[in-house]
Chain A
Amino acid sequence: MNEQLLHLRNAHLIDPKNGLDACLDLFIVDGRIAAIGQPPTGFAAERQIDAKGLIACPGLVDLSTRLGGIETELAAAVAGGVTSLACPPDTKPPLDEPGLVERLVRRSETLGLARVYPIGALTQQLAGEKLAEMNSLTRAGCIGFSQAKHPIVDTQLLLRAMQYAATFGYKVRLRPQDQFLAREGVAHDGEVASRLGLTGIPVSAETVAIATALQLAAQTNVRLHLSRLSSAAGVALIRTARHAGMPVSCDVSIHHLHLSEMDIGYFDSNARFDPPLRASSDRDALRVAVRDGLAAICSDHTPVDADGKQLPFAEALPGASGLELLLPLTLLWAKQAKLPLVLALARITCDPAAILGIEAGSLAIGSAADICLFDPDESWRVTPEALRSQGKNTPFLGYEVSGRTRMTLVGGRIVFEA
């Protein structure tokens, strides 16, 4: 469907970027937001959408989505209201070749669903030994560089990688986890792991890595983003760095915002995450960090098939399907933390857009009409059938959640409609 002139009526517009929180009409011309409130002169809608009772916010921006089957996962993205997403480089093969990046970009553009922003590999093959061709990868479409789950162990090489990235102003994203301290670990080194006999990953695995990254970032002036924070101590380190004026950003997965080690229960492999779910006090600190705007929220979407999860806990693959739960779980957090929607939605729209450095996450006049239209009160049950993603793996299976995407627009085109 390709509507040139669209009139969105009666929606409750929430645009955290511009502080908009009101019931106003929105007008789209040629894929861009042309006006809010009063129609532009001479506007004659080709299609009117009555959005009474619904909230229209900027399309969600996700900091990390593993695609797997690109077609189904991008369909899952728009079904979850996500219109822009960053794809980490640990694809098979890894995103360390400009050709691979171009192909991914082209493929996603052809599909015309959510916009895909590849994150390039910081080192060749993600092996942590040789620098990747960051400049060529950027020209091919990469908007930053990371090692995904494969840390650079050699601190000298990490320093060099940051220096090289800083040369061109590229953003470096790191998942802070010291691989020696986390060796063989599968759960938070705490009460539950001790009880269940699971190998623990201490909080120090995260803090040591954060401290290292911050020191090297300070030395190189690289733009640093730390992904998937899991601990209160990690949050404290970043808070201190930010107070000292360092331009470091970070994110928290939506799952870590809600769950703790207790949710492992009797070895529920759907609660296996990397980094691990930590103590409830850690979760509380993550919630404060997100509330304060220190961290953005990320779906950390990781589809895993049944074979990868129906294994003993330590052998199961980590991660959860997150794209379609990002919105409802963010709304749930806002409700529990008694936060206004305009603040909560910022964490999944304009904040991640700013971190990625992309033009998205806003309803400003003239910006691309990437819009998520949702019913905040419609509840639905999380079942394998209800999820469009190939990944049916989520610890929220069977839960009743509130907030359902009713329509998603990308560049003014309706790409999802329920």
Chain B
Amino acid sequence: MTSPDAEAQCAQLAELIRPRLRPDTVLVGIHSGGAWVARRLREILELRNEIGLIDVSFYRDDYGARGLHARVRPSSIPFDVEGRPLILVDDVLYTGRTTRAAINELFDYGRPASIQLAVLADRGRRQLPICADFCPWKVDLDPALELVLSTDASGRLQWSLAENAHA
């Protein structure tokens, strides 16, 4: 599989979102891939509102099996969530569990008016009743593989495939 251009996908995703933007809409990126995508979207969409960043480590449902190992980054929601339309941004939508954790965490900051989900890639194989509102790329991959978004030396986003460490 030749990986599509992630930067181009960001532009596509931005165009999907643009018609649905409201003046008070804010983006919330999930660490770490979702945070990069959210920053790109903010630039492309020329949003004035600051984006929020969340780390769902404290809300994951696999804590019992995996513990707290990866470096946890502080969540930062520099705006009042109460009554706001939010767009949750992640790089990959797969089982839906990360999204579930993120929604739970957001509700601990307040009651948003709405939450929509924007992702660069949708791998299908959902385990929870969750779907993306905005997604430029649907792809079916071997569960043994992990789809990883990273940044290259020049800071450009790129896709790669890795063996799934937890499979």
Direct touching of A and B (C-beta under 8 Å)? no
